[in-house]
Amino acid sequence: MMPTPTQLAALDAADPLAHARARFRLPPGVIYLDGNSLGPLPAALPERLAQTVAGEWGDGLIRSWNDAGWIDLPVTLGAAIAPLVGAEPAAVVACDSVSLNLFKLASAALALRPGRRTILMEASDFPTDAYVMQGLARLAGVTLKRVPRAELVTALDADVALLLLSHAHYVTAEVHDMAAMSAAAHAVGALTLWDLSHSAGALVVQLDADGIDFAVGCGYKFLNGGPGAPAFAYLARRHWETALPALTGWMGHAAPFDFAADFAPAAGARRLLTGTPPILAMRALEAGVATFADIDIAQAEAKSRQLVALFAAGAATLPGVTVDAPPQGRHGAHVIIRHPEARRVMTALIARGVIGDMRPPDAMRFGFPALTTRFADVGTALAALQAVLDSGEWQEERFAPRGMVS
Ligand SMILES: Cc1ncc(COP(=O)(O)O)c(C=O)c1O
Q: What is the CATH number of the domain that holds 363?
A: 3.90.1150.10
Residue 281 lies in a domain: yes
- Position 302 pLDDT exceeds 70: yes
Q: In the structure, what pLDDT confidence band is assigned to residue 406 with cuts at 50, 70 and 90?
A: very low
Atom 6 in ligand 1: residue holding the nearest Cα: 98
166 and 315 housed in the same domain: no
Ligand 1 centre from 224 Cα, in Å? 14
Q: How high is the pLDDT of residue 402?
A: 76
Nearest CA owner, ligand 1 atom 14: 37
Distance 95 CA to ligand 1 centre (A): 14
CATH number at residue 82: 3.40.640.10
- Residue 194 reports pLDDT greater than 50: yes
Task: Out of 197, 220, 334, give the residue to mutate to test ligand 1, the one with the largest number of ligand atoms within 8 Å of its CB.
Answer: 197
Question: Where residue 401 falls among pLDDT bands split at 50, 70, 90?
Answer: confident
| pLDDT tens column, 165-193 | 999 999 999 999 999 999 999 999 999 99
Residue 54 lies in a domain: no
Cα–ligand 1 centroid distance for 332 (angstroms): 15
Q: 61 CA to middle of ligand 1, Å? A: 33
| Ligand 1 atom nearest to CA at 219 | 9
172 and 316 inside one domain: no
Cis peptide before 319 (omega within 30 of 0): no
Q: Domain count for the chain, please give it.
A: 2
Number of the ligand 1 atom closest to the C-alpha atom of 99: 10
Nearest atom in ligand 1 to the alpha carbon of residue 101 is 10
Count of alpha carbons within 13 Å of 145, Cβ hemisphere only?
19
Q: Are residues 80 and 157 in the same domain?
A: yes
Domain-embedded: residue 28: yes
Q: Are residues 158 and 271 in the same domain?
A: yes
Of the residues 269, 290, 311, the one at which a domain ends: 290
Positive or negative, the CA dihedral 383, 297, 365, 171 is negative
- Per the domain annotation, does 50 fall within a domain? no
DSSP 243-306: ---SS--GGGBSSGGG--SS--BPSGGGGG--S---HHHHHHHHHHHHTTTT--HHHHHHHHHH
Are residues 214 and 74 located together in one domain of the fold? yes
The answer, yes or no, to whether residue 405 has pLDDT greater than 80, is no
Boundary residue ending a domain (290, 305, 335): 290
User: In this prediction, what percent of the chain has a pLDDT beyond 70?
Assistant: 99
Instruction: Look at residues 138, 152, 140 and name the one whose alpha carbon lies nearest to residue 115.
Output: 140
Q: Which of 205, 215, 206, 155 is nearest to 185 (CA)?
A: 155
- Is residue 403 over pLDDT 70? no
Residues 317-328 have a mean pLDDT of 96
Q: Are residues 285 and 318 in the same domain?
A: no
Distance 197 CA to ligand 1 centre (A): 6
- Based on the domain organization, do 156 and 139 belong to the same domain? yes
Residue type, 177: D
* β-pair type (334-338, 363-367): antiparallel
| Residue 316 CB neighbour total at 10 angstroms | 14
Residue 199 lies in a domain: yes
Residue 157 lies inside a defined structural domain of this protein:
yes
**Cβ atoms within 10 A of the Cβ of 41, count?**
17
Catalytic residue IDs:
126, 195, 220-221, 365
Angle between helices 375-391 and 342-351 (to 10 degrees): 120
Residue type present at position 238: R
The alpha carbon of 46 and the centre of ligand 1 are apart by a number of angstroms equal to: 25
pLDDT digits (tens, 9 = 90+) for 32-86: 999 899 999 999 999 999 999 999 999 999 999 999 999 999 999 999 999 999 9
- Inform me whether the pLDDT recorded for 26 exceeds 60: yes
Name the E strands within 167-235. 191-195, 214-217, 231-235
d(CA 331, CA 322): 19
Express each pLDDT in 276-291 by its tens digit: 999 999 999 999 999 9
Residues 178 and 119 in one domain: yes
pLDDT at 239: 98
Q: Are residues 279 and 313 in the same domain?
A: no
Task: Determine the distance separating the centroid of ligand 1 and the alpha carbon of 98, expressed in angstroms.
Answer: 6
Q: Looking at ligand 1, which atom is closest to the CA of residue 231?
A: 9
Expressed as residue numbers, the domain containing 261 is 69-290
Q: State the closest ligand 1 atom to the C-alpha of 37, by its place in the atom list counted from 1.
A: 14
Domain boundary pick from 259, 274, 290: 290
Q: What is the mean pLDDT of residues 129-141?
A: 98
Strand partners, 174: 331
57 domain residue, yes or no? no
Mutate to test the pocket of ligand 1, among 124, 133, 218, 357 (most ligand atoms within 8 A of CB): 218
Q: Who lines ligand 1 at CB under 6 A?
A: 97-99, 126, 128-129, 166, 170, 195, 197-198, 218, 231
Q: Tell me, yes or no, whether 119 lies in a domain.
A: yes
Average pLDDT, integer, range 372-387? 98
The Cα angle at residue 149 between residues 214 and 315, in degrees rounded to 5: 105
Nearest CA to ligand 1 atom 4: 98
* Ligand 1 midpoint to CA 70 (Å): 26
pLDDT grade, residue 345 (50/70/90)?
Answer: very high
* Same domain assignment for residues 261 and 159: yes
Shared domain for 212 and 304, answered yes or no, is: no
**Average pLDDT of 381-398?**
95
DSSP character for 63? G
Task: Tell me what the pLDDT averaged over the chain comes to.
Answer: 97
pLDDT in tens, 83-96: 999 999 999 999 99
CA angle 310, 362, 376 (to 5 degrees): 25
* pLDDT above 90: percentage of residues in the chain: 97
Pairing of strands 191-195, 160-166: parallel
Assess whether 106 and 237 both reside in one domain: yes
Please compute the mean of the pLDDT values over residues 201-222 and round it to a whole number: 98
Give residue-wise pLDDT tens across range 225-264: 999 999 999 999 999 999 999 999 999 999 999 999 999 9
